[in-house]
Amino acid sequence: GWKMENVLDEEIKVINQTVAPDEHVICALSGGVDSTVAATLVHKAIGDRLHCIFVDNGLLRYKERERVMETFERDLHLPVTCVDATEQFLRELKGVDDPEKKRKIIGKEFICIFDDFAQELEQKLGKRPAYLVQGTLYPDVIESCPPPGSGRSHSHTIKSHHNVGGLPKDMKLKLIEPLKLLFKDEVRRLGKILNVPEGFLKRHPFPGPGLAVRVIGDVTLENYLDTLRLVDEIFIQSIKDAGLYDVIWQAFAVFLPVRTVGVQGDQRTHGHAVALRAVTSEDGMTADWYPFDGKFLAEVSQKICNSVRGINRVSYDITSKPPSTIEWE
Ligand code: XMP
């Protein structure tokens, strides 16, 4: 491991040598660890010449926007523009079942919004931003170009960051990738020095397309997204209460658009089913389902059915990766 204080000083120096005093930088924050640490680092170097955007696409988790904006503003003092694009995203996703089509639509909408943000910024500043910050990590770099020898090399081919999904080519932004020589645990240590809250640094990974790949089929039907958010929050909170959050790689709920028969009180119900998923993993490439004890699962199931309207069945996913993937779509 490297000494993170030295890495921090070195990175700040490099950023200040790269970005001229009259140049501006933009960054898309996903709410994840990597983009947050990258932006915080750049902000420390160049201050308010950094301009961040956070997009609420309507596919975020329970109170996600409020929670991450509070961290950005209160804990990190990052200059962030929050755009609520829920209507725009859900309009485009209406009637779409296919997982890859959903991803394409979400990627395309994101680029439109990012493009608008850059143009508005250009008008305000009287010049276009010159750089884009990305939270690319070392494993993303070696995946596309294994370095010779054992030392970590600066030279690499750039792989587009899948959370951002590629950016318009005519934007001509140069990249700043301050984490490109670091592994995930090193990013967490760096984040700690930069005062990113501990709880934030330990968050499970969350896919760019968000809950769109966790509501099976058309995500815009009825109140599927809101229902899923409530179920997911109960599951995650129960995992935290049981002290299991940090041993699990990823945990989440999936909304199943099938109706099954139940009996609640003395009423026959015809409600929806959800699946819970929790896996352990080193890197997301392979994964094992997590063996919760029966008592834990029974309590979570009961809590969900008792408090989330419309849900009368909870199942637990006991497939590993392979043969399944971690996400259901
Ligand atoms: P799978 O489902 O392929 O997931 O086993 C492996 C890891 O990747 C995440 N994932 C995504 N992340 N955009 C992302 O940014 C995506 O489209 C996407 N699909 C899956 C998944 O959450 C897991 O951590």
Distance 327 CA to ligand 1 centre (A): 6
Cβ atoms of 185 and 202 within 8 Å: the answer is: no
Which of 175, 201, 293, 307 has its CA nearest to residue 243? 293
Which protein residue's CA is at the shortest distance from atom 16 of ligand 1? 207
Which protein residue's CA is at the shortest distance from atom 19 of ligand 1? 207
Testing ligand 1's pocket by substitution, the residue of 283, 324, 327 carrying the most ligand atoms inside 8 A of its CB is 327
Distances (CA, A) of 158 to 7, 104, 154, 322: 21, 21, 11, 28
Which protein residue's CA is at the shortest distance from atom 4 of ligand 1? 326
pLDDT by residue for the chain (329 residues), tens only, comes to 678 999 999 999 999 999 999 999 999 999 999 999 999 999 999 999 999 999 999 999 999 999 999 999 999 999 999 999 999 999 999 999 999 999 999 999 999 999 999 999 999 999 999 999 999 999 888 766 655 554 554 443 333 334 444 566 667 899 999 999 999 999 999 999 999 999 999 999 999 999 999 999 999 999 999 999 999 999 999 999 999 999 999 999 999 999 999 998 899 999 999 999 999 999 899 999 999 999 999 999 999 999 999 999 999 999 999 999 999 99
| Phi, psi of 81, rounded to the nearest 5 degrees | -95, 125
In a 3-state reduction of DSSP, which class is residue 270?
strand
Say whether 32 counts as a known binding-site residue. yes
What's the predicted TM-score (pTM) here? 0.91
Q: For ligand 1, which residues put their CB under 6 angstroms from it?
A: 103, 162-163, 205, 207-209, 250, 284, 321, 325-327
CA distance 42 to 191: 12
Testing ligand 1's pocket by substitution, the residue of 326, 328, 329 carrying the most ligand atoms inside 8 A of its CB is 326
Burial of 13 (0-12, 13-18, 19+ CB in 10 A): exposed
Cβ atoms of 181 and 138 within 8 Å: the answer is: yes
Query: Which atom of ligand 1 is found nearest the CA of 321?
Result: 5
Which protein residue's CA is at the shortest distance from atom 7 of ligand 1? 284
